[in-house]
Chains A and B, each alone.
Chain A
Amino acid sequence: SQELEQSPQSLIVQEGKNLTINCTSSKTLYGLYWYKQKYGEGLIFLMMLQKGGEEKSHEKITAKLDEKKQQSSLHITASQPSHAGIYLCGADGDYNQGGKLIFGQGTELSVKP
Chain B
Amino acid sequence: GAGVSQSPRYKVAKRGQDVALRCDPISGHVSLFWYQQALGQGPEFLTYFQNEAQLDKSGLPSDRFFAERPEGSVSTLKIQRTQQEDSAVYLCASSGGGRDYGYTFGSGTRLTVV
Main secondary structure of the interface of A (DSSP, over half): strand
Of all chain B residues, the one with the shortest Cβ separation from A93 is B45
**A42 and B106 contact, CB distance less than 8 A:** yes
Q: Is the CB of B42 within 8 A of A100?
A: no
**How many whole Å from A17's CB to the nearest CB in chain B?**
24
Contact A31 B55 (CB under 8 A): no
Q: Contact at B108–A98, with CB atoms within 8 Å? A: no
Contacts of B8 in A (CB 8 A): none
User: Is B80 interfacial (CB-CB < 8 Å)?
Assistant: no
The reply to whether A41 and B108 contact each other, CB–CB distance below 8 Å, is yes
- Are A48 and B102 within 8 A (Cβ)? yes
A40-74 at interface with B (beta carbon < 8 Å): 40-45, 48, 50
Contact B43 A103 (CB under 8 A): yes
Interface residue? B44 (CB, 8 A): yes
Total interface residues in chain B, CB < 8 Å: 29
Q: Which of B14-22, B68-76, B92-100 contacts A (4 or more CB under 8 A)?
A: B92-100
Task: Tell me whether A103 and B97 are in contact in the complex, defined as CB-CB below 8 angstroms, given that A42-B91, A42-B108 are known contacts.
Answer: no
Q: Are B59 and A100 in contact (CB under 8 A)?
A: yes
Given known pairs A92-B99, A100-B56, the reply for A106 and B105 (CB within 8 Å) is: no
Kindly state whether residue A113 has any CB partner on chain B within 8 Å.
no
CB distance from B25 to the nearest CB of A (A): 13
> Are A106 and B102 within 8 A (Cβ)?
no
- A residues contacting B by CB (< 8 A) are 4, 31, 33, 35, 40-45, 48, 50, 88, 90, 92, 98-106
B residues in contact (CB < 8 Å) with A: 4, 6, 31, 33, 40-45, 48, 55-56, 59, 91, 93, 95, 97, 99-108, 110
Apart from A102-B45, A103-B43, list 14 A-B contacts with CB within 8 A. A31-B99, A33-B103, A35-B105, A40-B107, A43-B91, A43-B105, A45-B103, A45-B105, A99-B31, A99-B56, A100-B48, A103-B44, A104-B42, A105-B42
